[in-house]
Structure 1
Amino acid sequence: MFCYKFPCGDFQTLTTMTETGITFDPPVYEQRYCAAIQFLEDSRWTEQIKKVVEFGCAEMRFFQLMRRIETIENILLVDIDEPLLRKNSISVNPLVSDYIRHRLSPLNVRILQGSVADSSEELRNTDAVVALELIEHVYDDVLSKIPSNVFGFMQPKLVVFSTPNSDYNVIFTRFNPLLPNGFRHDDHKFEWTREEFKSWCLSIVEKYPNYMFSLLGVGNPPKDLESVGHVSQIAIFVRKDFLESQLENPLVTNPKLDEESTPYKLVHSVDYPFNVDTRTEKEKIWNEVQIELNRFKRIANSSENEIDHYQDTYKMPIADLLERLHYVKATKEILGELLHENNIKVEDEYVIIEDSDEESQWSDPNDLSEHLSQEAVLIDQEQDQEEEYWDSNPENGT
């Protein structure tokens, strides 16, 4: 085992127990999603997480957060329930705003019908596996095959499992009895205590010693009842070479498919639009210089401050321009070259801006305002679409 701490710090959540029940703010499923996103975005490995497989993707809710991670280029959404996948497949398509605010890297999304227990060609070269509240829904024959498929065949860098903590059920039963099957959900095949979950994790790293794991949880217990632990327990497995440790065994370069496995079935596939920036570094800087010079001129025309203003000529301090260009790593030397190459005058550490100078794409502030207004409308449409989706797919807090 190893000790893992969330990169953004402990969750600021609220658990409230009343006479009629217990509530979680935010809901526990949102806390699970937030935890999983923090795992994927951990600076120690996020740049090398290019392909992610989510098993038990259900309504594709976690995908809506995962797709926003720019470094991920392939997402496989796998579930055994084909009708459910087809019902929700439209929710992975790009929104209108995705065609305006292009990603900086490609993203291919595939929805696949298949079992978490089956190896399949599509699973090769996976970097991260996420399975939230999945394992408690499978029978023993499937559960026993999950480690060999994930840690033996796929060999990802990162694996995340979450499952209900049955120790917490003593609190739920204060308000309502468990279901006739003895669990929180009618499809659960088991619910593990914290010790049972830890034992399962230990058995995995014993068989696959290239991995270490850490146990965490979300859904805090009420005050004075901390001994029951969290509502949902989480295990994060990390391959030792990403924890600055040596691998116990060499990775299998071309693992064999299990002959008894059923191949996956492709249900839906989509590519997201992305921006291919072919500009040189100097071209990028020059484009930003044009924008900043025109912005300075617009501010000078619309304000009554003490900016030097001589008819159709404006003077911008080079130091101010460099400060505005720090995000593109512009140096004074490169800036001087660009100003000289584009016939922009420089006098006494000031850039001389004339109306005849070439203007940027948004030289007219009204054009820029109109463009931003259009984008704001499209962003609002995206938010409305997402809210409509969640409203039509309600889920309880756990």
Structure 2
Amino acid sequence: MFCYKFPCGEFQTLTKMTETGITFDPPVYEQRYCAAIQILEDSRWSNQIKKVVEFGCAEMRFFQLMRRIEKIENIVLVDIDEPLLRKNSTSVDPLVSDYIRRREGPLSVQILQGSVADSSEELRDTDAVIALELIEHVYDDVLSKIPSNIFGFMQPKLVVFSTPNSDYNVIFTRFNPLLPNGFRHDDHKFEWTREEFKSWCLGIVEKYPNYMFSLMGVGNPPKDLESVGHVSQIALFVRKDFLEMQLENPLVTTPNLDDESTPYKLIHSVDYPFYVDTRTEKEKLWTEVQIELQRFKKMANLSENELDSYQETYKVPIGLILDRLHHVGATKEALLELLQENNLKIDDECVIIEDCDEESEGSDLYELSERLSQDVILTDQEHEEECWDLNQES
């Protein structure tokens, strides 16, 4: 085992008990999604996570967050329920905003009908596997085959499992009895205690020693009842070479398919639009410089007390521009060279820019201001769409 800490720190969540029940803020499913996203975006391996397979994708809700990760290039969504997949297949299609403000890199999405127990060609070269609240829905014969498919055949860099913590059920039964099957959900085949889940994980790393795992959870217990643990327990498996450790066994470069495996069925696939930037590094930097100069002008004009009062010249500190362009690796030398090449005056460590006719041939800054405004509008639209997606769960 190893100790894993979420990159953004512990979740700030609220669990409240009332006379009628227990509530979680935010809902536990959102906490699971946030935990999985933080793991995928962990800087220790995020650059190496290009292909992600989600088993038990159901209504594609987690996909709506995962697709926002720019470094992921291929997402494979797998579920055994074909009617459910077909019903929700179009929910993975690009939005209008995806065509207007395109991704920086490609994203290919496939929806496949198949079992988590079966190996299939589509699963090769997977970097990360996500299986949230899945394993408790499968029978023992399927459960026993999951490790061999994921850790033996797929051999991903990391794997995330989540499953209910039955130790927590003692709190739920204070308000309502469990279902007739003895569990929280009528399709659950089992619900494990924390010790049972840990034992299952230990069995996996014993058989597949190239991996280590860490246990955590989401859905905090109420105050003074911390002994029951989290409502949902999570196991993160990481391949040892991504923990700067030596692998116990060499990776099988072309794992053989299980003779009993059933090929997956393709339900839907789509490629997202993306932007191919053909500019040189100098051209990219000059565009960013122009945007920052125009941003300074807009802010200066907004600060005027009278609407009809505008400055004719502006002095923009070079240090301010450098601070704003730190994310693109701008240096003072490169900035000064660009400013001189484009005939901008420099005085007392400031760039001198003059207001120009917006309709003239030299109205690049004005056009860039329009682009800047559109970027702000689209960002707000995407935020609203993401909130709408998540609200469908509630």
**TM over 0.5: same fold?**
yes
Counterpart residue number, 2:275? 275
Residue 108 of structure 1: SS of its match in structure 2?
Answer: strand
Determine the C-alpha separation between the residues in 1 that align with 2:368 and 2:72: 37
Letter in 2 for 1:249: N
Letter in 2 for 1:382: E
- Cα gap change, 1:39 to 1:51, in 2 (>3 Å): same
Following superposition of structure 1 onto structure 2, how do residues 227-376 of structure 1 map, counting pairs within 5 Å? 227-299=227-299, 313-354=313-354, 355=356, 358-360=362-364, 362-363=366-367, 367=370, 371=374, 375=378
Counterpart residue number, 1:382? 385
Residue 109 of structure 1: SS of its match in structure 2?
Answer: strand
Counterpart residue number, 2:146? 146
* Shift of residue 35, structure 1, vs aligned partner: 1.0
Following superposition of structure 1 onto structure 2, how do residues 47-196 of structure 1 map, counting pairs within 5 Å? 47-196=47-196
Determine the C-alpha separation between the residues in 1 that align with 2:42 and 2:101: 24
Counterpart residue number, 2:29? 29
Determine the C-alpha separation between the residues in 2 that align with 1:156 and 1:94: 27
* Shift of residue 353, structure 1, vs aligned partner: 2.5
- The root-mean-square deviation of aligned C-alpha atoms, in Å, is 2.6
Letter in 2 for 1:13: T
Determine the C-alpha separation between the residues in 2 that align with 1:63 and 1:301: 42
Residue 364 of structure 2: SS of its match in structure 1?
Answer: coil
* Shift of residue 376, structure 1, vs aligned partner: 6.8
Residue 178 of structure 1: SS of its match in structure 2?
Answer: coil
Please say if residues 301 and 310 of structure 2, whose CA atoms lie closer than 8 Å, have aligned partners that are also in contact.
no
Counterpart residue number, 2:46? 46
Determine the C-alpha separation between the residues in 2 that align with 1:384 and 1:14: 20
Letter in 2 for 1:115: S
Determine the C-alpha separation between the residues in 2 that align with 1:163 and 1:73: 27
* Shift of residue 111, structure 1, vs aligned partner: 0.5
Determine the C-alpha separation between the residues in 2 that align with 1:227 and 1:95: 45
* Shift of residue 374, structure 1, vs aligned partner: 5.8
Determine the C-alpha separation between the residues in 2 that align with 1:380 and 1:167: 37
Letter in 2 for 1:148: S
* Shift of residue 47, structure 1, vs aligned partner: 1.0
Letter in 2 for 1:126: T
Greater Cα offset, 207-216 or 296-305? 296-305
Determine the C-alpha separation between the residues in 2 that align with 1:185 and 1:362: 58
Determine the C-alpha separation between the residues in 2 that align with 1:162 and 1:364: 46
Residue 78 of structure 2: SS of its match in structure 1?
Answer: strand
- Cα gap change, 1:265 to 1:320, in 2 (>3 Å): same
Residue 52 of structure 1: SS of its match in structure 2?
Answer: strand
Determine the C-alpha separation between the residues in 1 that align with 2:283 and 2:116: 48
Please say if residues 113 and 267 of structure 2, whose CA atoms lie closer than 8 Å, have aligned partners that are also in contact.
yes
Give TM-score, length-normalised by structure 1: 0.89
Determine the C-alpha separation between the residues in 1 that align with 2:83 and 2:64: 20
Segments of 5+ residues of structure 2 without an aligned counterpart are none
- Cα gap change, 1:311 to 1:15, in 2 (>3 Å): closer
Determine the C-alpha separation between the residues in 1 that align with 2:379 and 2:130: 33
Letter in 2 for 1:335: L
- Cα gap change, 1:295 to 1:205, in 2 (>3 Å): closer
Greater Cα offset, 12-21 or 292-301? 292-301
* Deviation readout 1:194-216 (Å, 9 max, x if unpaired): 11111111110010000011111
Please say if residues 97 and 382 of structure 1, whose CA atoms lie closer than 8 Å, have aligned partners that are also in contact.
no
* Deviation readout 1:162-209 (Å, 9 max, x if unpaired): 111111111111211111111111111111111111111111001000
* Deviation readout 1:228-267 (Å, 9 max, x if unpaired): 2111111111101111111000000000001100000110
Determine the C-alpha separation between the residues in 2 that align with 1:148 and 1:216: 23
Greater Cα offset, 85-94 or 7-16? 7-16
Please say if residues 294 and 365 of structure 2, whose CA atoms lie closer than 8 Å, have aligned partners that are also in contact.
no
Greater Cα offset, 178-187 or 123-132? 178-187
* Deviation readout 1:62-81 (Å, 9 max, x if unpaired): 11111111111111100000
Please say if residues 54 and 77 of structure 2, whose CA atoms lie closer than 8 Å, have aligned partners that are also in contact.
yes
Please say if residues 96 and 382 of structure 1, whose CA atoms lie closer than 8 Å, have aligned partners that are also in contact.
no
Determine the C-alpha separation between the residues in 1 that align with 2:245 and 2:345: 56
Counterpart residue number, 1:200? 200
- Cα gap change, 1:359 to 1:9, in 2 (>3 Å): same
Greater Cα offset, 139-148 or 36-45? 36-45
Segments of 5+ residues of structure 1 without an aligned counterpart are none
Please say if residues 205 and 211 of structure 1, whose CA atoms lie closer than 8 Å, have aligned partners that are also in contact.
yes
Please say if residues 20 and 175 of structure 2, whose CA atoms lie closer than 8 Å, have aligned partners that are also in contact.
yes
Please say if residues 290 and 359 of structure 1, whose CA atoms lie closer than 8 Å, have aligned partners that are also in contact.
no
Please say if residues 117 and 143 of structure 2, whose CA atoms lie closer than 8 Å, have aligned partners that are also in contact.
yes
Determine the C-alpha separation between the residues in 2 that align with 1:385 and 1:234: 26
Give TM-score, length-normalised by structure 2: 0.90
Determine the C-alpha separation between the residues in 1 that align with 2:4 and 2:325: 37
Letter in 2 for 1:386: D
